[in-house]
Amino acid sequence: MIRQELAGVMVKRKRDFNATCEILHDYESYLKHKRLWANRKYLLKYRHFRIALTQRQIIVLKLVARGFANSKIAQLLRVNEPAVKLSVHRLIKYFERVLEEKIDRFMFTVIAQQVDFKGELIEANSDIHIQG
């Protein structure tokens, strides 16, 4: 009797363990897919430069091009304002590296309005980042 109960408990534990492993595997797959999706870059054109940006960076760039303040962008994207400030700051620094000139927020807005947003998707593993 005790042996049967013990065997039943062991089978249940094994089933629970397998279910837990399956959930962990699914979650790891989800994270891997999410990372791959987040790292997809699109090649945009500005003058004779090609700029590789993620989908999220493109969204922020479009909102900057429309002249929105950081607080309005944060409200639209449902994130906090410091996250938007950091994102815009990193975009400005990226554009400074590409264009090899100092850019302020006003100049960045003007540049954002001139970017051709019909970009082509490039592979995440691709070495193409900047071509000037």
Q: How confident is the model at residue 21 (pLDDT cuts 50, 70, 90)?
A: low
Beta-bridge partners for 122: 41
Q: Which residue has the higher pLDDT, 127 or 106?
A: 106
Q: How confident is the model at residue 23 (pLDDT cuts 50, 70, 90)?
A: confident
**How far apart (Å, rounded) are the C-alpha atoms in residues 122 and 49?**
16
Instruction: Supply the mean pLDDT for the chain.
Output: 79
Residue spans per domain, the chain: 1-38, 40-131
* Yes or no: domain 40-131 corresponds to CATH 1.10.10.10: yes
Q: How confident is the model at residue 43 (pLDDT cuts 50, 70, 90)?
A: confident
Amino acid present at 112: A
Q: Which residue has the higher pLDDT, 87 or 31?
A: 87
pLDDT for 116 equals: 82
At 25, list the tokens. 């595997």
Beta-bridge partners for 102: none
